[in-house]
Amino acid sequence: MDEGTEGAYVDRESGELCTEHVHQSGLFRWLYASRTGRAVRRWLTGSGLLHRAVGRFADSRPSRLCIRRFSTVTGVDTSEVLKPEGGFHSFNEFFARRLRPQCRPLDADPEALVSPGDGKLFVSGDLGSGGRITVKGCSFTAAELLAGAADPTPYAGGSAAVLRLYLPDYHRIHFPADGVPGQDREIPGRYLSVTPFRGNDEPFYFRNHRVVSVLDSPRFGPLAMVEIGGFLISSVRPLCAPGQPVRRGDEKSLFAFGGSTLVLLAEPGRVVFDADLREHSARGLETRVRLGTRIGLAGRAGSA
């Protein structure tokens, strides 16, 4: 397997090249590779009714019975979990669990742009004028991604960070900088898988259901935050009020059950991503990062 192929990523803490284990990979390969599977996939990924039904079950008390099995199979680190008094009342409550505060300290540098969550990160320093960013075989432009929910013009020639969350990851999104969040704007769409595997070249970034908002940051300028649902995502649920000032590290939203992705867009010159992230991304590799760790600093435009 070459560096940029299926399942390869760099663990930032250890520096090791790792291979991601895709759960139910046989099912996904059937859905994406066979004629019958593709026909079934079109129904599964386009059915809002199915995803609402999954969401309702995941919010129900009987769904608690799935928590232990899910934790064992996916390898959730339960020592980090902040358990509510009386335990979890539903599977979704566990899936969108809070972590113990000491588990994800914020970077000490107040000028740092921090990771908005746990996951695998890919960065691009130049979107170009109408140019495309390509991650693991899937590409998009700012205009396609924002789909009229926010003006893509300021981000031409800017930078992007793509944070992909997988099943065992912490599924809350936090603000990467101080600022004032705008109104969430929902874009209806499909529920295609966001997991990279051979044959999954669907451009889910601009086909999937997503929520767009803009964080007006004094240090980094307007940051477009695009939360993209994946297969069996039942909802993206807000945890903050638009128009109210927030501090970096404050909770923004949570993803209910499923895989999910966050895309962060910045204007030209506003963000300089860390060298290791840029180097890995240039090789076609995602980097495993944790909430609150530094991913970049303000560029010259942000320091003026």
Report how far apart, in Å, the C-alpha atoms of 68 and of each of 256, 270, 287 are: 17, 44, 28
DSSP 8-state secondary structure symbol assigned to residue 107? P
- Please identify which of the residues 51, 174, 209, 280 carries the catalytic annotation: 174
Domain that holds residue 124: 106-303
193 is catalytic: no
- Please identify which of the residues 51, 115, 118, 217 carries the catalytic annotation: 118
- Please identify which of the residues 209, 260, 274, 281 carries the catalytic annotation: 260
Residue 253 lies in a domain: yes
pTM, rounded to two decimals:
0.87
Residues of the chain with pLDDT under 50: 1-5, 129, 304
Domain with 172 in it: what CATH number?
A: 2.70.70
Domains contained in the chain, number = 1
Residue 135 lies in a domain: yes
118 is catalytic: yes
Residue 297 lies in a domain: yes
171 is catalytic: no
Residue 227's nearest CA partner among 217, 219, 239 is 239
pLDDT attached to residue 129: 47
Q: Give just the sign of the alpha carbon dihedral 153, 154, 157, 163.
A: negative
pLDDT attached to residue 88: 95
Residue 82 lies in a domain: no
Residue 3 lies in a domain: no
Share of the chain above pLDDT 70, in %: 81
pLDDT attached to residue 3: 38
Distance (Å, rounded) from C-alpha 113 to C-alpha 107? 9
Tokens 């070249």 label which residue? 201
Residue 41's nearest CA partner among 53, 28, 52, 54 is 28
Residue 212 lies in a domain: yes
**How confident is the model over 114-128, as pLDDT tens digits?**
999 999 999 987 765
Distance (Å, rounded) from C-alpha 32 to C-alpha 199? 6
Distance (Å, rounded) from C-alpha 271 to C-alpha 159? 7
pLDDT attached to residue 294: 98
Report how far apart, in Å, the C-alpha atoms of 33 and of each of 29, 30, 119, 216, 247 are: 6, 5, 26, 42, 45
Residue 293 lies in a domain: yes
Residue 154 lies in a domain: yes
Phi, psi of 167 (to 5 degrees): -50, -50
pLDDT attached to residue 255: 85
Tokens 């066979």 label which residue? 34
